[in-house]
Chain A
Amino acid sequence: MKRAAAIITALVLVGGLVFVLGRAFGTDPHAVPFKMAGKAAPNFNIKRLDTDEIVSLASFKGRPIVLNFWATWCGPCKVEHPVLDWAASKYGNDVVFLGIVFEDTEDNTKRFLKENGWSFPQLFDPKSTVAVDYGVSGVPETYFINRAGLIVKKYPYPFQHPSQFEHEIQEIL
């Protein structure tokens, strides 16, 4: 009886250890968890770079939104720039595309956009308040917000090909 109790206790302890280690080894230790899925997209009122007009997320109520955080100092952001331009030209009539410049200067951003072109409004978040509210953990990151104003998901990688974007946007169309 005593021996059985010891064996059961040992099995529980070893089982618990294996479970914890299994879960730990199955996850990327550098990945930052994202808990905003299914929650209301935080509102913001920030400046549009080309017109200085204040843009409010609330003004797009009822429409799906693609929100892209990026920066000129971020190499992968430059890679996805043409893909997002293409996406905005394809889906722009149904979906609102907004870029939010993350941890960058106005001058750098304007210079980059002048050289590379842009097809959707770029907003400036000088104190990263919007980035903090959205739980940004690096750039580029693209948030997909549905018609109800809920964050459906975040794509924390650069879009390297239009097919990647087409796959991700389906849930908010």
Chain B
Amino acid sequence: MIALLLSLVLAQGYAPPRQGQDPLDAEREARVQRVGKLLRCAVCQGVSIADSPASMARAQLDKVRELVTEGKSDDEIFDYFVDRYGQWALMEPRKSGVALAVWVAPVLMLVVGLLLVLGSMKKPVKAVAPADAPAEDDYLAQVKKDLGQ
């Protein structure tokens, strides 16, 4: 059974491994890796292009190197990938525009929730007998009388 599975897997094959470009100088390479950790690998499951061993991730990281070399800002690099894959390309949603709601909404909902809870916690009300309350119920008086109290 294992042999059969192995043969099927091997027959299907994998992409041959490919080396990425050489790293840039230390300062720019650190920026490449930092930006790469914030970009999602297109052929992986929830892994950044800096962390994935996939060839496609290396190609994407090479693109980051190319854009860094061209002097692009971090936002311009993110835009390049967002233009192709949408906000999905970002490991963390942006803290601007509509995506800002993702960051603000949980805090806002927590505050609103707390306010609701505090609002529903009523202060204990002192029991005060109304001034014009009737002396005693007639029926209760009759019951007490019958019981000899």
List A residues at the B interface (Cβ < 8 Å): 2, 6, 9-10, 13, 16, 30, 32-36, 39, 71-75, 102-105, 108, 126-129, 131-138
Contacts and interface: CB of A to CB of B under 8 A. Distances in A.
Interface in B82-102: 82-86, 88
A128 B55 contact: yes
Contact of A30 (B13, B18, B42, B45): B45
B59 interface: yes
Given A33-B88, A73-B14, A104-B16, A13 B109 contact: yes
A20 B117 CA distance: 24
Interface in B57-116: 59-60, 62-63, 82-86, 88, 105, 109, 112, 116
Contact of B16 (A108, A131, A134, A136): A108
Contacts, number: 79
A135 B13 contact: no
Is the contact region of chain B dominated by helix, strand, or loop, or is it mixed? helix
A10 B117 CA distance: 12
Interface residues of B, number: 29
Contact of B85 (A34, A73, A103): A34
B128 interface: no
A139 B83 CA distance: 20
A2 B119 contact: yes
B38 interface: no
21 contacts: A2-B119, A6-B116, A9-B112, A9-B116, A13-B109, A16-B105, A30-B45, A32-B85, A33-B86, A33-B88, A34-B85, A35-B83, A35-B85, A73-B15, A75-B13, A102-B15, A103-B56, A127-B21, A127-B59, A129-B63, A131-B59
